[in-house]
């Protein structure tokens, strides 16, 4: 994470906001606190924060509306901090333009990782290279080739497109419907069977251990995340 | 005659005490019909005297009142069990969190190993509490008949992998041995409930086995059903206790100090049943085997898989 960032915490629960303030201050950042939508909007206008952490269950209204407002004005990472079991809320927040999410209870490590990768995406606009490397995996988008530990691995056209989409959007949560729409096309958003089948096929080809996948991680009820710890 | 009437009232009372209104009413009707055979004109169901008609009505009233009362008592004792289990199962991890936290704040232990141990305890107990609360939330969702299951195509192996992630890796110690047939078809079910089912069964296997012993999970598939097996080594448990294991909030006799086992398994049973499946426990030579059978009610359409 870049040092000395201004982090806006939009959270009405005191215990959580205190923990977040403590954790980010300890890392050398400054924090702002807003307990409701109104004051969040005010802070955004006057202080222009670098990152926003947003609790969806605000007392004075819909967090999604806030995301829409922020997105229309600022290009900064928005991370959702949500209570468990409202998957649909999380999905629609992601559709509105939130960058990632953590569910309560979360570890601060997990949150820092989400913030870091969201920030990295905002820094790097477009990679000119057509080759993406993650650990021992390498995909060449122009040449339609894929290697694992430098050995070529054959992928079907759909497998290749799926893996390409995942690797282009590495370290980012991708909802089921987004992947289906991008890889299979409009009209396929609900074809979960396709997605599960091809994810399974890809995992068999790239994962060292199927019991605990390293690269393609499942976000239950939400989608998938391609984890890439040492990108080129 | 009064004696005969009283004798016929007896089965009504006995059945009514079970608190099930339908069986009470059936038994009452039966014993009235039998009674009518004694009453003149004998061996016919016709009864002329008003006094007998009244006693029949009283039969129904007695049956009804006892059933309602019995039901209320049953509910209360259920509530009491729930209350005790909950307070015990939630308070145990909470005491560990509070105890360790106050120990760290008040005594400022300088030994880093000691500090690390206390902090690890706090994290592990919080995770345990989180699992229990998630389980209770899922259970509440199952009880509510208004919200149907959120069924979708599930990859069971993936769900077990996710369930394993709910535990700290140093607790699992690479103890889990996973055996899986090559091609497990997608299963049409509620993914978050199925994951909860696996979490509870892994939790159970960890609690009832020695620290170093392996836990085996396997999935086998046949034409009509999927079978998921959980095996852990432990001292033998009598079959009658195994049969009771899935009853609401039952805890095997010799395990008073193991927290949270009761709720987990009964929720596991509820989730299996919601998928029209079965869950059973068997004692084998040196351990306990829990077997979940899920019938395949909907098959994935065969996709035209591309060739290389």
The complex's ipTM works out to: 0.87
Is A222 in contact with A195 (CB distance < 8 Å)? no
Q: Which pair of tokens denotes residue B201?
A: 């069964």
Distance separating alpha carbons of residues B27 and B33, to the nearest angstrom: 10
Q: Which pair of tokens denotes residue B179?
A: 């055996």
Least Cα separation, residue A192 to chain B (angstroms):
6
Strands, E assignment, A60-150: 61-62, 78-83, 100-104, 131-134, 137-140, 145-148
Chain B contacts in chain A segment 15-74 (CB below 8 A): none
- Substitution target in A86, A155, A183, A192 with the highest count of B β-carbons within 10 Å is A192
Write down the CATH number for the domain with range A6-123. Answer: 3.40.50.2300
Q: Rounded mean pLDDT of B246-259?
A: 56
Structure confidence at residue B202 (pLDDT):
92
Distance separating alpha carbons of residues B125 and B131, to the nearest angstrom: 10
Q: Which of A61, A54, A60 is nearest to A16 (CA)?
A: A54
B192 CB burial (10 A radius; 0-12, 13-18, 19+)? buried
Structure confidence at residue B258 (pLDDT):
46
Give exposure, B87-113, as e/b (b: 16+ Cβ within 10 Å).
Answer: eebbebbeebbeebeebeeeeeeeeee
- Where does the pLDDT of residue A162 fall: very low under 50, low under 70, confident under 90, or very high at 90 and above? very high
pLDDT in tens, A189-205: 889 999 999 999 999 99
CB contact under 8 A, A220 and B192: yes
Distance separating alpha carbons of residues B55 and B59, to the nearest angstrom: 6
Nearest to A193 among B137, B186, B192 (CB): B186
pLDDT in tens, B20-60: 888 888 988 888 888 888 777 777 777 777 788 888 888 88
Q: What does DSSP say about strands A223-226 and A216-219: parallel, antiparallel, or unpaired?
A: antiparallel
CB contact under 8 A, B192 and A105: no
What is the phi/psi pair of residue B151, to 5°? -85, 140
CB contact under 8 A, A156 and B306: yes
Distance separating alpha carbons of residues B96 and B196, to the nearest angstrom: 24
Give exposure, B11-35, as e/b (b: 16+ Cβ within 10 Å).
Answer: ebeebbeebeeeebbebbeebbeeb
- The owner of tokens 């059933």 is B67
B187 in helix, strand or coil?
strand
Distance separating alpha carbons of residues B10 and A85, to the nearest angstrom: 51
Structure confidence at residue B166 (pLDDT):
87
- How many CB atoms sit inside 10 A of residue A223's CB? 21
Q: Rounded mean pLDDT of A43-50?
A: 91
Mean pLDDT of chain B: 84
Structure confidence at residue B229 (pLDDT):
94
- How many CB atoms sit inside 10 A of residue B81's CB? 14
Structure confidence at residue B20 (pLDDT):
82
Q: For residue B261, is pLDDT > 80?
A: no
Q: For residue B296, is pLDDT > 90?
A: yes
Element (H, E) at A57: strand A57-58
A19 in helix, strand or coil?
helix
What is the phi/psi pair of residue B174, to 5°? 55, 35
CB contact under 8 A, B178 and A156: no
pLDDT in tens, B200-251: 999 888 888 877 788 999 999 998 999 999 999 888 888 878 877 887 665 5
pLDDT in tens, B54-113: 888 888 898 898 888 888 877 776 666 667 767 777 888 899 999 999 999 988 888 889
- Where does the pLDDT of residue A157 fall: very low under 50, low under 70, confident under 90, or very high at 90 and above? very high
Looking at chain B, the whole-number percentage of residues with pLDDT higher than 90 is: 25
Structure confidence at residue B259 (pLDDT):
45
Write down the CATH number for the domain with range A131-226. Answer: 1.10.10.10
What is the phi/psi pair of residue B217, to 5°? -125, 130
Per-domain residue ranges of chain A = 6-123, 131-226
DSSP bridge partners of A146: A139
């Amino acid at each position: 994470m870049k040092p000395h960032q201004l982090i806006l915490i939009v959270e009405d629960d005191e215990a959580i906001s205190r923990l977040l303030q403590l954790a980010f201050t300890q890392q050398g950042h400054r924090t702002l606190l807003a307990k409701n939508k109104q004051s969040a909007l005010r802070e955004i206008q006057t202080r222009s924060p670098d990152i926003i952490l947003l609790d969806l269950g605000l007392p004075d209204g819909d967090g999604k509306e806030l995301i829409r407002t922020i997105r229309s004005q600022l290009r900064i990472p928005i991370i959702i901090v949500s209570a468990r079991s409202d998957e649909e809320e999380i999905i629609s927040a992601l559709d509105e333009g939130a960058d990632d999410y953590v569910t309560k209870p979360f570890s601060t490590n997990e949150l820092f990782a989400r913030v870091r990768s969201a920030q990295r995406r905002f820094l790097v606009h477009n990679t000119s290279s057509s080759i993406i490397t993650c650990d021992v995996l390498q995909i060449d988008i122009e040449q339609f080739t894929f290697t694992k530990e430098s050995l070529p691995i054959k992928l079907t056209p759909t497998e290749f497109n799926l893996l390409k989409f995942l690797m282009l959007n590495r370290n980012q949560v991708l909802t089921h419907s987004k992947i289906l729409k991008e890889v299979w096309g409009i009209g396929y958003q609900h074809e979960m069977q396709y997605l599960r089948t091809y994810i399974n096929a890809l995992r068999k080809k790239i994962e060292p251990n199927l019991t605990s996948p390293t690269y393609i991680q499942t976000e239950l009820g939400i989608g998938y995340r391609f984890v890439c710890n040492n990108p080129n | 005659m009064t004696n005969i009437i009283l004798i016929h009232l007896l089965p009504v009372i006995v059945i009514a005490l079970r608190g099930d209104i339908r069986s009470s009413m059936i038994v009452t009707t039966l014993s009235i019909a039998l009674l009518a055979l004694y009453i003149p004109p004998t061996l016919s169901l016709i009864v002329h005297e008003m006094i007998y008609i009244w006693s029949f009505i009283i039969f129904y009233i007695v049956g009804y009142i006892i059933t309602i009362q019995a039901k209320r008592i049953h509910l209360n004792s259920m509530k009491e069990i729930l209350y005790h289990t909950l307070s015990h199962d939630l308070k145990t991890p909470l005491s560990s969190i509070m105890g360790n936290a106050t120990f760290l704040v008040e005594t400022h232990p300088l030994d880093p190993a000691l500090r690390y141990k206390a902090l690890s305890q706090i994290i592990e107990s919080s995770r345990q509490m989180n699992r229990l609360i998630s389980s209770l939330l899922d259970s509440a969702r199952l009880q509510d008949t208004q919200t149907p299951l959120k069924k979708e195509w599930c990859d069971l192996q993936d769900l077990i992998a996710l369930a394993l992630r709910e535990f700290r890796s140093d607790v699992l110690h690479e103890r889990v041995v996973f055996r899986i047939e090559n091609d497990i078809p997608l299963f049409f079910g509620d993914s978050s409930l199925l994951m909860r089912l696996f979490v509870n069964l892994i939790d159970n296997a960890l609690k009832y086995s020695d620290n170093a012993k392996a836990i085996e999970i396997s999935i086998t598939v046949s034409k009509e059903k999927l079978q998921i097996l959980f095996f852990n080594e432990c001292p033998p448990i009598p079959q009658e206790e195994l049969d009771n294991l899935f009853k609401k909030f039952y805890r095997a006799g010799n395990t008073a100090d193991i927290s949270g086992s009761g709720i987990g398994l009964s929720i596991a049973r509820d989730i299996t049943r919601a998928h029209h499946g079965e869950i059973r426990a068997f004692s084998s030579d040196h351990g306990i085997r829990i077997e979940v059978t899920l019938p395949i009610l909907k098959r994935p359409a065969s996709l035209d898989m591309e060739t290389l």
